[in-house]
Amino acid sequence: MARLPERDEEDLAPTGESSRGYAAGEDELHRLMHDLRTHQIELTQQNRELRDAQRALEVSRDRYARLYDRAPVGYCTLDRDAIIREINLTGASMLGTERARLTGTPLWSHLDAGQARALHSHIEAVQRSGERRTLGVRLTPSNTGHVVDLRLESEPARGDDDESVCLTVMIDVTAQRHLVEQLKEREQALSHLAMHDPLTGLANRSLFSDRLDQAIARGQRTGEQLAVLFIDLDRFKLINDSFGHPFGDEVLKDIAARLKEQIRKDDTVARIGGDEFLMLIAPVDSPDAAAAVARKLIELLRRPCAGPRGEIALTVSIGISVCPDDGTVAEDLVRQADTAMYMAKQDGRNTFRFYAADMTKQAFDRILLRTGLSHAVERNELALFYQPQLALDARRIPGIEALVRWMHPVLGCLAPERFLALAEETGLIRGIDTWVLRTALTQRKRWQSEGLDEGTRIKINLSRRELERPGFAEDLGSLLRELDLDARLVSLELTETGVVSDSAAALNTIQRLQRLGVELSIDHFGAFSSSLADLKRLPIGELKMDKSLIDGLPEDIDDAAIARAILALGKTLGLRVIAQGVETQDQADFLRKAGCTIAQGFLYTQPLGPDELMRFVETWT
């Protein structure tokens, strides 16, 4: 092999020019190596950041998965056929099945029967509209056996394979449904209570009046007659006095059951108080047909009742008015039947009488009342008595009720029940209301100077007519300014809130009174038409439980349940509840244990004159 010629060392030594080139190459190499190391460091840093980001993403994904699974609502993904593609643990728990057994199954198969079509329609509506839709469904999980109500809220989305799906939120609304049902039941119970007598379950006066109005209107269209029977038990007070009120209540319930057996579908029987009942017979062929009913009732109610010491014989007196012969106004027909009933009692009881215009005794008394009432104020025949409302949890007197009496020169001291209804009918109530208001507020101001507690309100009953009168609130404001009396010391008591809430004039006055600072109270709550809607609509501060609910306490189970319900209602709505007509210590003890904190009644004191009231205040407080 040929050999290359050998070179001298001189030949190998770099020349000046090649030396410079060599140095430049070395610098480039160093720069490249530096860039490479820098790039390597950057890659390492980026890899580290990428790994950190990946770990953070995994942590976030795990956290999301845990939140998704343990969310307080269920989540699931449904395809067009309602097949469960994905579901969280909460949703699986709602359906009462393990998650692994749910995926791939139709949601409707886990619901109660008969809901598949509604679910499919729901999904189609979501996909078609592209909007969120809501559906209520019900199921009974086998692991609990309890009915569950769910609200499904679905919105359209795209699945992993770009298929149309529904993202559905599952919300358990079972507790809400139970609450709504309970509220409806309470509303129905209170509504029934407002229109029915709590002791007998019969219609009360309000419902009877409504039915009578309807029957009169129907009779005017058809020409049919109707009859009103006023039924009163003879000497019933003797039964109460001899055997006690609990037994008397049982007698009343027995009488009510007998009366209900005799009415037809369109007839109505009502208990309007004490031992008084009303019966509406509509239609009635003739007065003779009404008389036949009365005779049958007298025989039916004559059947003895079993008493504590043997059988007790009962008799009744019945008065009858006929429409249209005796008029076409409901109140007139009831009043005429009442007048005829008193004539039956005067004629020996245990009989019936038709109303006649020449029933002189009743007519005379009525004329006497009507004539005297127009001058009662100017003749100073009216008087106010005061009954304190006492705190049961402390020796305080939060309120004092003003009660009007008519010192009639012939008939003696008359309670409001004897003349206020007549005053309403004749329009004389305004003068009486004005006198009562001024007298009561003046007395409250006088007591203030005598040291009566500043928190004690004066309670005054207010008629519907006065409440509807334009300018009433302004007149009251002027009177308060004249007396220099704080409006917060005044409480006005309403009775028929159902009537008030339907009157625009009354509502306008109530709003003005509220701005004035005067409190409103519902009197006789539980006896008249006071609905839950009225409690929400009107600015009420206080409920006065009707005496009829107190009388049966604590023995009567129904009265006790109603009393507790009213106290609970007042507490829920933030209203004070006053028990009126408390007469026994047992009643007071029951009310205190049930949560009632204010009461009034003969157990503590009868209505007092102004000076007697202050002496009572001093002993109580």
Q: According to the model, what pLDDT value does residue 357 have? A: 74
Span 81-94, pLDDT tens digits: 999 999 999 999 89
Q: What is the CATH number of the domain that holds 243?
A: 3.30.70.270
Q: Is residue 60 part of a domain?
A: no
Residues 332 and 374 in one domain: no
Residues 464 and 433 in one domain: yes
How many folded domains does the chain comprise?
3
Q: Tokens 């409920």 map to which residue?
A: 543
Cis bond leading into 398, ω under 30°? no
Q: What is the CATH number of the domain that holds 519?
A: 3.20.20.450
Residues 252 and 280 in one domain: yes
Reported as type and span, the H/E element at residue 15 is none
Which of 180, 158, 11, 195 lies closest to 79, judged by CA? 158
Which of 277, 253, 261, 423 lies closest to 338, judged by CA? 277
Contact 320, 340 (CB under 8 A): yes
CA distance 614 to 249: 37
Helix axes 472-483, 429-449, angle to 10 degrees: 30
pLDDT level of residue 419 (50, 70, 90 thresholds): confident
Which of 235, 391, 385, 240 lies closest to 316, judged by CA? 235
pLDDT level of residue 141 (50, 70, 90 thresholds): confident
pLDDT at 350 > cutoff 70: yes
Span 435-454, pLDDT tens digits: 999 999 999 999 999 989 88
Residue with the larger pLDDT of the pair 495 and 350: 350
CA distance 321 to 340: 8
Which of 382, 379, 325 lies closest to 357, judged by CA? 325
pLDDT level of residue 605 (50, 70, 90 thresholds): very high
Contact 566, 549 (CB under 8 A): yes
Last residue of a domain, one of 341, 358, 375: 358
Contact 396, 621 (CB under 8 A): yes
Domain that holds residue 418: 367-620
Out of 63-77, 383-397, 413-427, 574-588, least confident range = 63-77
Residues 350 and 203 in one domain: yes
Residues 353 and 389 in one domain: no
Average pLDDT of the residues in 146-161: 90
Q: Is residue 475 part of a domain?
A: yes
Kindly list the distances between the CA atom of residue 163 and the CA atoms of 102, 152, 166, 386, 492, in Å, as whole numbers in the listed order.
20, 21, 10, 80, 68
pLDDT at 37 > cutoff 50: yes
Q: According to the model, what pLDDT value does residue 381 have? A: 93
The 8-class DSSP code of residue 348 comes to: T
Q: Is residue 297 part of a domain?
A: yes
Residues 203 and 348 in one domain: yes
Percent of the chain with pLDDT over 70: 89
pLDDT level of residue 467 (50, 70, 90 thresholds): confident
DSSP states along 219-278: HHHH--EEEEEEEEETTHHHHHHHH-HHHHHHHHHHHHHHHHHH--TT-EEEEEETTEEE
SS3 readout for 109-178 = HHCCCCCHHHHHHHHHHHHHHCCCEEEEEEECCCCCCCCEEEEEEEEEEECCCCCEEEEEEEEECHHHHH
Q: Is residue 31 part of a domain?
A: no
Give the CA radius of gyration of the chain.
Answer: 42
Residues 402 and 541 in one domain: yes
Residues 165 and 224 in one domain: no
Neighbouring residues of 552: CB distance < 8 A, sequence distance ≥ 6: 199, 245, 246, 249, 558, 559, 560
pLDDT level of residue 43 (50, 70, 90 thresholds): confident
pLDDT level of residue 610 (50, 70, 90 thresholds): very high
Out of 84-98, 329-343, 527-541, 573-587, least confident range = 527-541
CA distance 462 to 434: 10
Q: Mapping DSSP to helix (H, G, I), strand (E, B) and coil, where does residue 384 land?
A: strand
Residue with the larger pLDDT of the pair 347 and 62: 347
pLDDT at 502 > cutoff 60: no
Q: According to the model, what pLDDT value does residue 4 have? A: 45
Q: According to the model, what pLDDT value does residue 20 have? A: 62
Q: Is residue 528 part of a domain?
A: yes
Q: What is the CATH number of the domain that holds 131?
A: 3.30.450.20
pLDDT at 358 > cutoff 50: yes
pLDDT at 22 > cutoff 90: no
What average pLDDT does the chain have?
86
The 8-class DSSP code of residue 75 comes to: E
Q: According to the model, what pLDDT value does residue 499 have? A: 47
Average pLDDT of the residues in 399-428: 86
Average pLDDT of the residues in 407-428: 83
Average pLDDT of the residues in 32-55: 77
CA distance 95 to 32: 67
Whether the pTM exceeds 0.75: the reply is no
Neighbouring residues of 43: CB distance < 8 A, sequence distance ≥ 6: none
pLDDT at 299 > cutoff 60: yes
pLDDT at 612 > cutoff 70: yes
CA distance 574 to 515: 19
Last residue of a domain, one of 358, 385, 417: 358
pLDDT at 16 > cutoff 60: no
Q: Is residue 50 part of a domain?
A: no
Q: According to the model, what pLDDT value does residue 188 have? A: 80
Q: Is residue 256 part of a domain?
A: yes
Span 172-193, pLDDT tens digits: 999 888 888 888 888 887 877 8
Q: According to the model, what pLDDT value does residue 531 have? A: 59
Quick one: CA dihedral 53, 56, 62, 64, positive or negative? negative
Reported as type and span, the H/E element at residue 378 is none
Q: According to the model, what pLDDT value does residue 297 have? A: 94
Let me know how many helices (H) and strands (E) the chain has, helices first: 23, 21
pLDDT at 250 > cutoff 80: yes
Q: In terms of C-beta density within 10 A (0-12 exposed, 13-18 middle, 19 or more buried), how is residue 117 classed?
A: exposed
pLDDT at 13 > cutoff 80: no
Q: According to the model, what pLDDT value does residue 184 have? A: 87
Residues 330 and 378 in one domain: no
Residues 532 and 574 in one domain: yes
Average pLDDT of the residues in 517-540: 77
Q: According to the model, what pLDDT value does residue 61 have? A: 64
Average pLDDT of the residues in 10-33: 65
Span 197-240, pLDDT tens digits: 999 999 999 999 999 999 999 999 999 999 999 999 988 877 87
Residues 126 and 212 in one domain: no
Quick one: CA dihedral 140, 141, 147, 150, positive or negative? negative
Q: In terms of C-beta density within 10 A (0-12 exposed, 13-18 middle, 19 or more buried), how is residue 120 classed?
A: middle
Q: Is residue 10 part of a domain?
A: no
Residues 379 and 301 in one domain: no
